[in-house]
């Protein structure tokens, strides 16, 4: 367990970077909360250690996009049970449906992942039966680039400029907790009682 705030901040950066690039990392998926009080599990797609920003992917028609456009405050909960570390993050989100960042994120996603955006219905739409929302012709296949082209309009990225981290290490000998806040580009850190 690190006992210096600088080492903990480095550990947070390392954990989040690994979560973005390693599908087996416990931090690859996180609980994301919007200001309307809704929570959902999302995949961490990118983390920038220098700017302390991250990227998530979503359906542009989803309720979370509407919530972010109404109020961009976002909270994200990461938990690694093996490391016994919880990271709560806060930030300001921005939705990008078009532009270089969204285009690059679309291009780097696998065709299988992009097929989710072929859904004929917005996420959360009512249905008479259990279904994926995907057209029948795409169920169970990896579509071609041409078949995926219409899905691009339903794809968006959520860019989050992080403003705070609350780090908690769980230990039988005594938990440890630290807070990191980014104020005018400067990271202020302090210990907290767990």
CB–CB of 143/111 below 8 Å?
A: yes
Task: Name the token pair of 176.
Answer: 């440890």
DSSP state at residue 46: E
- Say if 170 falls within a structural domain: yes
Indicate the SS3 state at residue 1: coil
**Looking at the domain assignment, is residue 123 inside a domain?**
no
**How many domains is the chain built from?**
1
* CA–CA distance, 64 with 34 (Å, rounded to integer): 7
Helix (H, G, I), strand (E, B) or coil at 6: helix
CA distance 71 to 62: 15
Q: Is residue 147 part of a domain?
A: no
Domain range holding 32?
Answer: 5-109+154-192
Q: What is the pLDDT of residues 139-153, one digit of tens each?
A: 989 999 999 999 999
Each residue's pLDDT tens digit, 31-64: 999 999 999 999 999 999 999 999 999 999 999 9
CA distance to 25, 73, 160, 177, 180, per residue, from 94 (Å) = 25, 9, 6, 29, 22
From CA 149, how far away is CA 29, in angstroms rounded?
27
> Would you say residue 175 lies in a domain?
yes
Say what percent of the chain tops pLDDT 90.
Answer: 93
Spell 36-68 as b/e; 16+ CB within 10 A means b. Answer: eeeeeebebbbbbeeebbbbbbbbbbbbbbebb
Residue 114 in any domain: the answer is no
pLDDT one-digit tens code per residue, 121-172: 999 999 999 999 999 999 989 999 999 999 999 999 999 999 999 999 999 8
Q: Report how far residue 190's alpha carbon sits from residue 71's, in angstroms, rounded to the nearest whole number.
A: 28
Other C-beta atoms lying within 10 Å of the C-beta of residue 32: 23
The full DSSP string for 10-45 is HHHHHHHHHHHH-TTSGGGEEEEEETTS-EEEEE--
Q: Is residue 121 part of a domain?
A: no
Looking up residue 21, the CATH number of its domain turns out to be: 2.30.110.10
Q: What percent of the chain has pLDDT over 70?
A: 99
The answer to whether residue 132 is domain-embedded is no
């Amino acid at each position: 367990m690190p006992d210096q705030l600088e080492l903990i901040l480095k550990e947070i950066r390392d954990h989040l970077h690994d979560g973005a690039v390693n599908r087996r990392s416990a931090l690859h998926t996180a609980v994301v909360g919007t200001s309307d009080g809704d929570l959902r599990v999302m995949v961490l797609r990118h983390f920038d250690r220098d700017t302390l920003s991250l990227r998530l992917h979503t359906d542009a028609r989803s309720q979370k996009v509407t919530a972010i456009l109404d109020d961009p405050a976002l909270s994200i909960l990461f938990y690694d049970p093996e490391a016994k570390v919880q990271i709560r993050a806060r930030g300001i989100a921005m939705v990008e449906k078009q532009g270089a960042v969204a285009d690059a994120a679309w291009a780097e996603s696998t065709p299988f992942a992009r097929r989710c955006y072929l859904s004929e219905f917005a996420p959360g739409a009512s249905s008479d039966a259990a279904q994926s929302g995907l057209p029948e012709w795409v169920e169970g296949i990896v579509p071609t680039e041409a078949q995926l082209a219409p899905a691009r309009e339903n794809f968006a990225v959520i860019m989050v400029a992080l403003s705070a981290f609350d780090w908690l290490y769980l230990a039988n000998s005594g938990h440890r907790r630290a807070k990191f806040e980014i104020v005018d580009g400067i990271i202020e850190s302090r210990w907290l009682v767990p």
